[in-house]
Chain A
């Protein structure tokens, strides 16, 4: 089934630790759907042919006497209970409850806005600096970071460029400055609405670097194009172009990227470091 669904659109790559479980439950449900639809369909077409007026001019008042259909209904109910308890509840519980808060996880803030993703890293101290809406400057400081705060001095932010290490738990604290957006990493099976006024945790662990991923795209229409951040919730006239980029590094690559960011920060203390023009 998974192979079939991949043929019909499901991305072949499922590049996070959660991804395969989500694909698995999608496949299981599609099994149920397929069996029911084929079963109904065969019965439907057979009865239409067999009981057409010219073949069966006199209808039978009673029709079907057996109660086979009750077994079908019970079977569907049982299958659904198994789906719920065996798969849906555990996956959701892990998504909500297993949020990695410790130092072994990479903590990132993502602040969505019309029509960009602001990515905020806490820097080497591991603590996010203060932000304030009064400091927001759409060009220089879209997240309103307060540089006078001690913890903010080494903070780094980028626009539409999310860099993460592979095989490491990532915990994103997701929020929005203006309207509702939805943070989506299709190849990682990650999606979460960004709701203004709320900080919602999103966690995942990537299992493939961008470099490895690009090798899988050879020969397809998306050859050479890496992972993306998509917006799934209508957020205004620029919704369609609210695209970000996700780069998954190996550990050395990630460390090197971070170092580079800190150098930019030191060099261009009051310039537009980290802006996407640098990319």
Chain B
């Protein structure tokens, strides 16, 4: 049994720690700060969208002449919002923080397989994220060619794009280190009796996510290096011959293909969607099983669907590219795979909904967020269908319909699941309870305003309003009937920002509160709650390494006195 007896300094214990829990917290706190920052960028953009060319209050002085947000800076904020929310916020929180902290606990491991690799993964992420923001301070501002960085635009963009690429290369390397660690940990460090089909769904979600990251990220890393070469070394991987930019013939352009980048980019970025959603499925399943007091319906169907989803996510990427001049054969292939991938998503959502039937449902804060996830992810998934068929995509491609679609998946979808996870595991991390009233206020206001932000996007999208318009479509007649929605969305976004105060206050108050002394406050079955030392856990996690005797969700077993039987209980 591994325990640490010597006293560690503050730096060794909290900063350069190799303990998976501390690294999980480092990931968690850093990524929450970035989420707030990325959201703030959007709140600034939404001012310009609601009131085009009026001075932005409070921070206008930082932005440009007369306090008006200039269009090139609007584009920068758009890139940084997307990049920060995905690569610095949601993925590090879902995978880095939750995966690091709870995956070893749930499989009965004393740490990750490679603790030092784990720490270096965090620090690479930290450095990568700092590089990202340095972009704001270079001449021309941060990257401004879309978070997708399509060349040739990205090739000819200002210096911020170079900074963005360096940042991405760091972040990708960090993700690769993190994912190899999760893979080896799950394969090698499962405790005795923890067979594959006894793993909690959370572990499955993380495990499949790690596979996606490790297989999908290297092509983007390669593509990022190629784009750096195009920008810095005068190569032309992504530029065809005959480019004329602002009246000047581009002499170094020739022989490359802008579509090559798109293929490499989306080969990562579609699996990335499932990187965002699989950990969310995992968290929601844990929280739901605990709060319906019965096993999840269709455990095996869930596991196989998630594996299938992971596999299929590698062969749907070009559905982002229907309008690049795609022919019938390749179009038919990607439309078919896209329709196929919708089936396991339907299976997963249906299984989670059916699980509710016969339960004894407790509506605490984590459960509310988990339940909120279901219809929101449902909307996000369903609105993917018209985008997945090339014919309907003709009208909807690159409109606000797309923005609405993926935000429903990621914002009220994944981020709700992450909030559910934070409220659910808060007692594990701190030994304290969060305030239920503040938690419920946080949920209800977030739920209302999330829909206030994203629902109108479908209307603008159906009207054909393009995304990434600095003035929100004011110059276009076809947007005229729906411009008023810009203000609705912006006000909702700002109120959504205010609603997060409930969360922040709740965290501060709860952290200052007394320890409850409870080891398993939710009466949960998985190892993270049952066989560990009392929270917050010391190095080594377990007093005695648990042995697993049963499945992860043995709630309300007939004949049992209590309504839950821990995985480690014999018999």
Contacts and interface: CB of A to CB of B under 8 A. Distances in A.
A96 B330 CA distance: 12
B328 A178 contact: no
A273 to B, nearest CB: 19
Interface in A98-151: 113-114, 133-134, 136-138, 144
B258 A196 contact: yes
Contacts of B359: 47, 51, 56, 59-60, 63
Contacts of B247: 136-138
Interface residues of B, number: 106
B336 A84 contact: yes
A22 B389 CA distance: 10
A230 B325 contact: no
A225 interface: yes
Contacts of A21: 391
Nearest to A221: B480
B478 interface: yes
Binding site secondary structure of chain A: mixed
A11 B464 contact: yes
B339 A84 contact: yes
Interface in B106-159: 144-146, 150-153, 156
A77 interface: yes
Interface size class of A (residues with CB under 8 A): 35 or more
Interface in B299-356: 323-328, 331-332, 335-336, 339, 342-343, 346-347, 349-351, 353-356
A216 to B, nearest CB: 12
A40 B385 contact: no
A197 B475 CA distance: 29
Contact of A192 (B146, B325, B458): B325
Contacts of B461: 9
Contact of A37 (B240, B347, B361, B379): B379
Interface stretch (A164-172, A183-191, A255-263): A183-191
A43 interface: yes
B190 interface: no
Contacts of B478: 11, 186-187, 222, 228, 230
B153 A240 contact: no
A63 B294 contact: yes
B249 A180 contact: no
Interface in A1-44: 5, 8-11, 21-23, 25-26, 29-30, 32-33, 36-37, 40-41, 43-44
A175 B399 CA distance: 21
A236 interface: yes
B257 interface: yes
Nearest to B79: A234
Given A37-B378, A51-B360, A237-B72, A179 B152 contact: yes
A182 B398 contact: yes
Nearest to A231: B466
B9 interface: no
B462 A9 contact: yes
Contacts of B145: 234
B242 A197 contact: yes
A198 B460 CA distance: 30
A243 interface: yes
Contacts of A30: 386
Contacts of A36: 346, 378, 382
A214 B469 CA distance: 25
A89 B332 contact: yes
A233 interface: yes
B500 interface: no
A8 B460 CA distance: 8
A250 B156 CA distance: 42
Contacts of A184: 398, 464, 466
A238 B350 CA distance: 45
Given A60-B294, A83-B389, A40 B397 contact: no
A227 to B, nearest CB: 8
Given A77-B343, A136-B249, A193-B325, A240 B471 contact: yes
Given A178-B152, A189-B394, A59 B293 contact: yes
B557 A88 contact: no
A189 B480 CA distance: 18
Contacts of A196: 152, 239-240, 242-243, 258
Contacts of B473: 240
Q: Sorted from nearest, which 8 A-B pairs have the closest CB atoms?
A: A197-B240, A186-B464, A9-B462, A225-B477, A60-B358, A91-B391, A232-B398, A63-B358
Given A60-B294, A177-B244, A186-B464, 10 more contacts: A11-B478, A36-B378, A47-B361, A136-B244, A179-B156, A180-B150, A232-B399, A233-B150, A237-B70, A237-B75
Interface of B: 70-72, 75, 144-146, 150-153, 156, 239-247, 249, 257-259, 292-295, 297-298, 323-328, 331-332, 335-336, 339, 342-343, 346-347, 349-351, 353-363, 371, 374-375, 378-379, 382-383, 385-386, 389-392, 394-399, 458-464, 466-471, 473, 475-478, 480-483, 555-558, 563
23 contacts: A21-B391, A26-B395, A30-B386, A33-B385, A40-B349, A40-B374, A40-B375, A48-B361, A52-B363, A64-B354, A69-B354, A73-B350, A76-B342, A96-B328, A177-B243, A178-B245, A184-B464, A220-B480, A228-B477, A230-B466, A233-B150, A237-B70, A237-B71
